[in-house]
Amino acid sequence: MARRYDPERRDRIIDAAIRVVAERGIDALSHRAVATAADVPLGSTTYHFATLDDLLVEALRRTAREWLDGLAAWERAADPGLPLAEELGRLVGESLTGDRRRLELEYELYLAALRRPAVRPIAAECVDEMAAVLRRRTADEATARALAALIDGMLLQHLLTGRPFDRDEAVRALAAVTGGPVR
């Protein structure tokens, strides 16, 4: 039997892994679940991704890329006439009022690095790139890294607690790190 040419199969498998995690959580991720979601033979998932960690790395890489592309777009559109804390407060607020399931997925994949060493380099790259984007708007690397940590913390706390987002409180916290004014 001739093999079917399917150049997008690997991408469909990654997309299916992301859907499985989004719908059922990281514990539901298996080659079988992904093969079913991608509508491919089980052997295709193991051919392209020998281990679940290999698949998880690519799922995190893809979701992180989307988040980082969004952050870069925010940075390009940020009003240089406004205090950085104000613009960052807007970014955090928009992230929290956007697609909550997507944000939960991003953090679920990101936090998988706690227990899966193979995923840690991708999580670290994400943190580094986030700091690099923020560095374009800050005085130094330490401030950019502190802002990245604060933004991650704000988003994660709101996801975990369900507490309503208080933009003014967020802007004050961000201004404390940036050392900049608040309108």
CA distance 149 to 130: 10
How far CA 16 is from CA of 6, 31, 67, 178, in Å, comes to 15, 10, 18, 40
Domain span including residue 111: 53-178
pLDDT, residue 1, reads 44
With a cut of 60, say whether residue 27 has pLDDT above it.
Answer: yes
Summarised one tens digit per residue, pLDDT across range 75-122 is 999 999 999 999 999 999 999 988 888 899 999 988 999 999 999 999
What does the pLDDT average to over 35-63? 95
Q: What mean pLDDT value characterizes the chain?
A: 92
Domain-embedded: residue 152: yes
Amino acid 16: pLDDT: 97
- Tell whether 94 and 146 lie within a shared domain: yes
Does this model's pTM top 0.85? My answer is yes
Domain count, the chain: 2
Distance CA 109, CA 118 (A): 12
Residue that is written with structure tokens 């309503």 in the block: 164
SS3 letters for 108-175?
HHHHHHHCCHHHHHHHHHHHHHHHHHHHCCCCCHHHHHHHHHHHHHHHHHHHHHCCCCCHHHHHHHHH
Same domain assignment for residues 72 and 150: yes
Whether 42 and 62 share a structural domain: no
Distances (CA, A) of 146 to 49, 98, 112, 168: 35, 24, 22, 19
Is residue 64 domain-shared with residue 146, that is, in the same domain?
A: yes
Write the CATH number for 15.
1.10.10.60
Among candidate residues 25, 50, 75, the one where a domain is terminated: 50
- In this predicted structure, the answer to whether residue 61 has a pLDDT above a threshold of 60 is yes
pLDDT band at 42 (very low <50, low <70, confident <90, very high): very high
- Per residue, the 3-state secondary structure of 69-106, as one string, reads HHHHHHHHHCCCCCCHHHHHHHHHHHHHHCCHHHHHHH
For the segment 138-157, the average pLDDT, to the nearest whole number, is 96
Alpha-carbon distance of 41 to 15, in angstroms, equals 15
Q: Give the mean pLDDT of 6-28.
A: 93
183 located within any domain: no
The band of 183, judged by pLDDT with boundaries at 50, 70 and 90, is low
User: Last residue of some domain: 13, 31, 50?
Assistant: 50
